[in-house]
Amino acid sequence: MPKKHTMRKVGNTLQPTNRRDAEWLDGIKDGSLVLIEAKRPRNLKHHCKLFALLHLVCEATDWKEDALLDAIKIELGYCKDRPILGTEYTWRKPKSIAFESMGQDEFEKFYEGAISVMIAHLGIDYEELRNELAKA
């Protein structure tokens, strides 16, 4: 598995943020092509806000947090179809939203989608929810 390195965008360049990453970059010959998969690191407060939101919604409904999160993932298409042995049927396995699985940009889209799903399917009032989140 490739090692991860942290870089900071400065102008039109990426610069290492620590000595280990600087040494790694120094080991690459000038002019070499490097394949990079870039993600903005996740915002922990935003991640916690999602789970506070799930908790508030579950307190007001009959849902359990893990079941609601899975249902939201499936509704948003954030899942993989898996075969059921011996049949032509499949089941949907929700994907992970762990920090290493999803960068901040993708998480922001997921968060907004989660709110839309809860409003559309659970009758949640967005303004009331926002006010409750502000108190939490």
- Taking only the tens of pLDDT, the chain with its 136 residues reads 457 788 888 999 889 888 988 998 899 999 999 888 777 788 989 999 999 999 999 988 999 999 999 999 999 999 999 999 999 999 999 999 998 889 899 999 999 999 999 999 988 888 888 887 777 6
How many CB atoms within 10 Å of residue 94?
16
CB within 8 A of 15, min separation 6: which ones?
A: 7, 8
Alpha-carbon span 9 to 4, nearest angstrom: 16
Residue 33: domain span:
1-38
Residue 2 confidence (pLDDT): 58
Beta partners for 14? 9
Check whether residue 16 and residue 59 sit in a common domain.
no
Check whether residue 28 and residue 64 sit in a common domain.
no
Check whether residue 111 and residue 96 sit in a common domain.
yes
Residue 133 confidence (pLDDT): 77
Residue 81 confidence (pLDDT): 96
Total number of domains constituting the chain: 2
Residue 128 confidence (pLDDT): 84
Check whether residue 19 and residue 66 sit in a common domain.
no
Alpha-carbon span 8 to 18, nearest angstrom: 10
Contacts within 8 Å (CB) and 24+ apart, 127-136: 129/53, 129/56, 129/57, 132/56, 133/49, 133/52, 133/53, 133/56, 136/52, 136/55, 136/56
Check whether residue 29 and residue 96 sit in a common domain.
no
Residue 136 confidence (pLDDT): 64
Check whether residue 118 and residue 74 sit in a common domain.
yes
Check whether residue 51 and residue 77 sit in a common domain.
yes
